[in-house]
Amino acid sequence: MDEIAANSQWEAELTENGQHGFEAGKPELVVDAAQLIGLDTSPRTMLPIPGSRMFEINEALKVYLDREPGGTVFDASQGDGGASLPGVSRELLDAAHKMHLEHGTGYDKPFGTPAYRRAVVEDYWGLDAATGWGPTNVVACQGGRDALVKSYDAAQFLGHGRHGDFVVVSRVPWISYNWGPYSVGANVMLAPGQEDQAWTLTPEAINACAETANALGERRIAMLVITSPDNPTGRSMSPERQIELARAAFAAGVPYVFFDWVYHRVTDGEPHDLNAFLGALDPAERERCIFLDGITKSLGASNIRNAHLVASEKVIKFIQSRASHAVIPSFYSLAVAMAAYRMGFNKAAAPIIKPTNASRAVVADFLEGHEINHILGKGYYAFLDMTPWIEKAGYADSAELGSTLAETFGIAVVPGVYFSDFGKNWIRFSYALPPEVTRDALDRLWLALSSL
């Protein structure tokens, strides 16, 4: 009997005997009919998601260089210390490579590795067992965007259990906060905020968002995002203020609050203390908090792509189960982070943090001396109000100004209108640069503004 005939006979026997509970040749559902995903026609009407223009801004400098061959240009647009500062040291990269050679190239766990979890808890955060959180509250991600998408997913499923609810962000948010949630079934709402108060979140704004969501077909808020230091504005909030906002969100029925702390190490003050933060929350509140941190900014490791989430075991287990079918972080990215954490992160990140802090002081002096309205907290960015110069030049918004600055004067910044219309008269100036370069870039900016 040939193989085809034998298989046919085997299938016939299985069908006749009712084994495996299915009929040969009949399609089978992976889940029961009652558990099928509901039909959703929103992809037909969703707005096409635009590509981020953040990766294209510095291309405009080529126009300047074509006209001024050999001229000096300044890229104050980027949020990548690895491009403008030394970035990850050779010592750390060599240590990570050695770890990778010893570790091998087989599959790791969807959460990373146990050693990585311990390094995050013990070497990086120094997490106190009294918080009730430990290694099982950590999941590794392939950079911040990966962590965010996984968190949006968790908040929707574990919160109200549906798509179409809102992720609430600040009035002028990081550009990918507009589109990342939208790509995985969540809508986005910009919270109320006053320009003269740096669009700071308030409890009243959170309540207004909840009321607005409910009025739009009884939708709800799936997650509130709090960033400190903020991108793009640089605005920084005290831990006490962040806790106040989280509690306002919980009271308004928001199931999860996401704390984006990816810039908090880049400070001339003290970084956030997760032990103190968790200690100020009661156990039930902790279960509803998700914390993001990583090495892309503070270590200048943008193209290494490592971040981690710290959250309740319920959230972590949800994320790691789904990651097993999607994105599992690469070991090399884990190894770079472990090498930095074991070295002592302040030492490892000093080539980024020290010059950026020095540049922040240069920026502060310049803005005060030239009486430019601005927002300047910690992190990488200053947000500058260009209204007088936009009006003087007759521009519609900061996009036109940005083109002029790059193409005519050789300095690239990010137009605030790219983040939201509420920032249309502002620009983001990155000072993740050596202080002497920051000073020259600011001089070039003032030359350009003075010529308008």
Q: Which helix H or strand E contains 225, and what residues bound it?
A: strand 221-227
pLDDT lower than 50: segments of the chain: 1, 10
Q: For residue 262, what are the contacts with CB-CB under 8 A and spacing of at least 6?
A: 144, 292, 293, 294, 296, 297, 298, 307
Which pLDDT value is given to residue 53?
77
The 3-state DSSP class for residue 177 equals helix
- Cβ proximity of 276 and 60 under 8 Å: no
CATH of 90-348, one of 3.40.50.300, 2.70.98.50, 3.40.640.10, 2.40.70.10: 3.40.640.10
* DSSP annotation of 111: T
- For 418-434, b/e burial (b = at least 16 CB within 10 A) is bbbebbbbbbbbbbbbb
- What the block records as the tokens of 242 is 């962040």
CA distance 432 to 300: 10
Cα pseudo-dihedral 294, 298, 301, 307, rounded to 10: 10
DSSP symbols for 5-54: HHHHHHHHHHHHHTGGGS-TT----SS-GGGSPPP--GGGTSPPPPPPGG
225-256 b/e (C-beta count within 10 Å ≥ 16 → b): bbbbbbbbbbbbbebeebbebbbbbbebebbb
- Which residues, other chains included, contact 298 with Cβ-Cβ below 8 Å and sequence gap of 6+? 81, 262, 263, 265, 266, 345, 349, 352, 353
Mean pLDDT of the chain: 94
Tens digit of each residue's pLDDT (9 = 90 or more) over 13-25? 555 555 555 567 8
Q: How many helices (H) and strands (E) does the chain have?
A: 18, 13
State how far the Cα of 24 lies from the Cα of 29, in Å rounded to an integer. Answer: 14
CB contact at 8 A, 292 and 144: yes
Report the distance separating Cα 203 and Cα 211, nearest Å.
Answer: 13
As a whole number of angstroms, the distance between CA 399 and CA 414 comes to 8
pLDDT tens for 90-115 read 999 999 999 999 999 999 999 999 99
Residue 277's H or E segment, with its range, is helix 274-279
Residue 5 pLDDT: 55
> 53-79+349-451 has which CATH code?
3.90.1150.10
Q: What is the pLDDT of residues 396-412, one digit of tens each?
A: 999 999 999 999 999 99
Give the model's pLDDT for residue 55: 73
pLDDT at residue 16, as a whole number = 53
Backbone angles phi, psi at 125, to 5 degrees: -85, -25
- CA separation for the pair 71, 62 (Å, rounded): 11
Amino acid letter, 321:
S
**What pLDDT was estimated at residue 10?**
47
| Confidence at residue 12, expressed as pLDDT on a 0 to 100 scale | 54
Q: Provide the residue ranges of all domains of the chain, joining segments of one domain with +.
A: 53-79+349-451, 90-348
Quick one: which H or E segment has residue 428? strand 426-430
Supply the pLDDT for residue 249.
98
